[in-house]
Amino acid sequence: MMAGLAKRRPTKRRPIKRRLVQGAAGLAGLLLGGTLAATVWAQQLVADLSSHLIAITTGFTGTEVVLFGTTDGAGDVAIVVTGPRSPATVRRKQRVAGMWMNTDSLRFDQVPSFYTVAVSRPLDQLVGRPVLERHQLGLPQLQLPADSTLPPEELAAYRSALIRNKQRQGLYAISMGQVAFLGERLFRTNIFFPANVPTGLYNVEALLIRDGEVVSAQTTPLVVSKIGFSAEVSDFARNRPVVYGVAAVIGAIAAGWAAGAAFRRV
Amino acid sequence: MQVYLPIAEMSVNALLVLGMGWLVGFLSGMFGVGGGFLMTPLLIFIGVPPAIAVGTQANQLVAASVSGVLAHWRRGNVDVKLGVVMLAGGVVGTAVGVWIFGILQRLGQIDIAITLSYVFFLGTIGGMMLVESSRAILRRRAPTAKRGKLHRHIWLHGLPFKMRFQRSKLYISALLPAGIGVVGGMLVAIMGIGGGFLLVPAMIYLLNMPAGLVAGTSLFQIIFTTAAATLLQAATNQTVDAMLALLLLIGGVIGAQFGTKAGTRLRGETARMALSLIVVAVALKLAWDLFSRPDDLYTLTMGLR
């Protein structure tokens, strides 16, 4: 069965000679054992993005990136998009003397700024729990380590509050996206990034699932970055904060003065 | 028209922000208050992070008060000497305020401290102004009522370091305007506002300044305290969004011009009544938010803080 799968690789784009070589390699893989087979299998799925850079310009209102790809045969595809990880604090309010104020907090160490999953079929029909956890497929399986000695139910409350807040900001998907297959091998999905998408290096992971196992995976980087005027402003503010402050004050005085002078004649 | 704010890292409707700037600028020109106490809640309401709302509108208030002062200056409504004395106190107050802000931030209670001080100051000042101005309006409508004393002498006027302020026709202790400046400076640092809503009534009721000079003089002082606050916020917290400030100040400076014109047509007590109603409404709204159960008891802050 393994050799058969390896021989049925994508055919249309590749010359017949190469196909034969690859087929032979697949056969060799079967003969030589699991390690070599794995390297061959890594190419069972090929995926790419319509763009590897999301440019946040002054007029940015969110954007959509198309992920497309092909498999070497029947199977299901899951796409996991993860934003850069950073620490985050969740605070809980309690009623103190009638007022709601922050009383407790929990710090999470590695929280992805963005997280969304798209699948071709509901995940529970495809794979078991261990696989979901290994690949962090779906919000319940997302690893959010926190350094705390809180009882599990408290921890769970903080965890779900983190996810809920992220979903409200539109940065964690509420439901899973749809990977659409065109025929048996070509697939595509649209990944939406809202206007408040955090900047940084994103990971787009495409997984090929067959018979309840992830048989192939490919990771594609995606950069979200400010470009043009907005990038210059934020670089200026970050790199030379005092000069930026002085410039902001001078600009404000000039603007106020100009407006005052303009209205003198009215 | 959507515009991306580079520091706040979000996209806003430019016309909405321009309109907000105009409205607040109009009120600022009319009453001689900076309008920061209105702008902070408005910005937070449209989703701007509180720290950036505070830092940015300090910057915007510089422009609004410059253009406001120009209008008052041409009408000769600025007492520079009194303003400079207030400013000396303002510098001390800003330094003290920054120190208190740091302590509250380390305690993790800066949000509630800001809201509580808003409720306290706005509620107290607004309530007092409301009572006073409605009494004044009632007195005006009842011409038989006795005319009050022109100048009431209280213990505050017995303080040392008396100074003559020719423009305001006052001979009072320099400690009074300087003390008002200290409180104003603290408000700039802690609440991120110009403090005009506190300065204006204080100058009217404590200094007995001529009403015509109050707005111009308080704006004159606010230019310098907000400029200092902008510098401080940009240098230490990087919370000044130039793009947002630009939109707010375009709306603000235009609104301030109309406001100043409208203000000259308004009777003193009517203007005070209108301002006090707005102030009380904001205080009630903030108090309501403080005491009503929030939709989500948990909040999320990304980053180290």
Task: Give the residue from A60, A96, A100 with the most B CB atoms within 10 Å of its CB, the best one to mutate.
Answer: A100
pLDDT exceeds 60 at position A109:
yes
pLDDT recorded at residue A60: 87
Distance in Å from the first CA to the final CA of chain B = 33
> Which chain B residues contact residue A230 at CB under 8 A?
4-6, 243
When pLDDT is averaged across residues B96-114 and rounded to a whole number, the result is 74
Check if the beta carbon of residue B117 is closer than 8 Å to that of residue B192: no
Q: What is the pLDDT of residue B156?
A: 63
Phi, psi of A84, deg, nearest 5: -60, 140
**Quick check: is B168 in a domain?**
yes
Inside any domain, residue B199: yes
Tell me how far apart the alpha carbons of residues B199 and A103 are, in angstroms, rounded to a whole number: 34
Q: Give backbone dihedrals phi and psi of B6, rounded to 5 degrees, phi first.
A: -65, -30
The partner residue sitting opposite A233, judged by closest CB among B223, B242, B294, is: B242
What does the pLDDT read at residue A260?
76
Does residue B144 surpass a pLDDT of 60? no
According to the model, what pLDDT value does residue A266 have?
45
Average the pLDDT over each of A40-49, A60-69, B96-105, B148-157 and give the range with the smallest value.
B148-157
- Mean pLDDT on A36-63: 78
CA–CA separation, B30 and B256 (whole Å): 7
Q: Is B85 an 8 Å CB contact of chain A? A: no
Domain ranges of chain A: 1-43, 46-242
Dump pLDDT digits (tens) for B38-58: 888 788 778 887 778 878 878
B304 part of contact set with chain A, CB < 8 Å? yes
Q: Do residue B230 and residue A62 have CB atoms under 8 angstroms apart?
A: no
Q: Is residue B149 part of a domain?
A: no
Distance CA B265, CA B99 (A): 42
- Of the partner residues A248, A255, A259, the one whose CB lies closest to the CB of residue B230: A248
Beta-strand runs (E) in chain A: 45-49, 53-56, 63-71, 76-82, 85-96, 99-112, 115-119, 177-178, 180-182, 186-193, 200-210, 213-226
**When comparing pLDDT for B205 and B33, which is higher?**
B205
Stretch B3-28: mean pLDDT: 87
With beta carbons under 8 A apart, name residues in chain B contacting A256: 62-68, 70, 249, 253
Q: How far is A202 from chain B (nearest CA, A)?
A: 17
Does B120 contact A at CB distance below 8 Å?
Answer: no
pLDDT band at B303 (very low <50, low <70, confident <90, very high): low
| SS3 per-residue string spanning B83-108 | HHHHHHHHHHHHHHHHHHHHHHHHHC
Q: Which residues contact B219 (CB under 8 A, 6 or more apart)?
A: B28, B32, B34, B65, B68, B69, B72, B78, B196
Which chain B residues contact residue A264 at CB under 8 A? Answer: 70, 74
Burial (CB count within 10 angstroms: exposed 0-12, middle 13-18, buried 19+), residue A20: exposed
Mean pLDDT of B63-81: 82
| Maximum mean pLDDT: which of A187-196, B135-144, B269-278 | A187-196
How distant, in Å, are the alpha carbons of A246, A257, B49, B237 from that of A131?
55, 65, 39, 43
ipTM above 0.85, yes or no: no
Domain count, chain B: 1
Average pLDDT of chain A to the nearest whole number: 82
Strands A177-178 and A115-119: parallel
Q: What is the mean pLDDT of residues B185-203?
A: 77
pLDDT category of residue A27 using cuts at 50, 70 and 90: very low
pLDDT at residue A25 tops 70: no
Q: What is the mean pLDDT of residues B77-103?
A: 83
Residues of B in contact with A114 (CB under 8 A): none
A183 touches B at CB < 8 Å: no
Cβ-defined contact of A246 to B231 (cutoff 8 Å)? yes
Give residue B18's pLDDT band: very low, low, confident or very high (50, 70, 90): very high
Q: Does A60 reach chain B within 8 Å, measured CB to CB?
A: yes
Paired sense of beta strands A213-226 and A53-56, if any: parallel
| Inter-chain touch B230–A226, beta carbons under 8 Å | no
pLDDT score, position B72:
81
Q: What percent of chain A has pLDDT over 90?
A: 38
The answer for B 250-269 residues in CB contact with A (under 8 A) is 250, 253-254, 256-257
Show residues of chain A in contact with B59, CB under 8 Å.
248-249, 252
B2 has a chain A CB within 8 A of its CB: yes
A198 touches chain B (CB under 8 A): yes
pLDDT at A238 over 50: yes
Examine the pLDDT at B204 and tell me if it is beyond 60: yes
> Does the pLDDT at position A245 exceed 80?
yes
Distance (Å) from the alpha carbon of B147 to chain A's nearest alpha carbon: 39
A170/A182 Cα distance (integer angstroms): 29
Size of interface A-B (CB pairs under 8 A): 199
- Asked if residue B37 lies in contact with residue B26, where contact means CB atoms within 8 angstroms, the answer is no
CB-based contact (8 Å) between B4 and chain A? yes
Contact B45, B55 (CB under 8 A): no
Predicted pLDDT of residue A13 = 45
- The C-alpha atoms of residue B298 and residue B305 are separated, in whole angstroms, by 15
B244 close contact with A: CB closer than 8 A? no
Question: Is pLDDT above 70 for A251?
Answer: yes
pLDDT at B135 exceeding the cut of 60: yes
Sole residue written with tokens 């001529």:
B210
Nearest in space to B46 (alpha carbons), one of B229, B241, B235: B241
Q: What is the pTM of this model?
A: 0.72
User: CA geometry: angle at A169 spanning B291 and A118, to 5°?
Assistant: 145
Mean pLDDT for B230-243 is 83
User: For residues A188 and A65, what is the distance between their CA atoms, to the nearest angstrom?
Assistant: 10
Tell whether A265 is within 8 A of chain B (Cβ).
no
Range from A26-35, B36-45, B196-205, B255-264 carrying the lowest mean pLDDT: A26-35
The mean pLDDT value of chain B amounts to 80
User: Contacts of residue A94 in chain B, CB cutoff 8 Å?
Assistant: 297
B104 touches chain A (CB under 8 A): no
What pLDDT, on the 0 to 100 scale, is given for residue A117? 94
**If one looks up domain A46-242 in CATH, what number appears?**
2.60.40.10
For A133-192, what is each residue's pLDDT tens digit? 888 888 888 989 887 788 989 999 999 999 999 999 899 998 888 999 998 889 999 999
Q: Do B245 and A61 touch (CB under 8 A)?
A: no
User: Does position A20 have pLDDT exceeding 50, yes or no?
Assistant: no
Pick A151 or B191 by higher pLDDT: A151
B128 or A12, which is more confident? B128
**Has residue B303 been placed in a domain?**
no
Question: Which residues are CB-neighbours of B176 under 8 A, at least 6 positions away?
Answer: B156, B157, B159, B206, B207
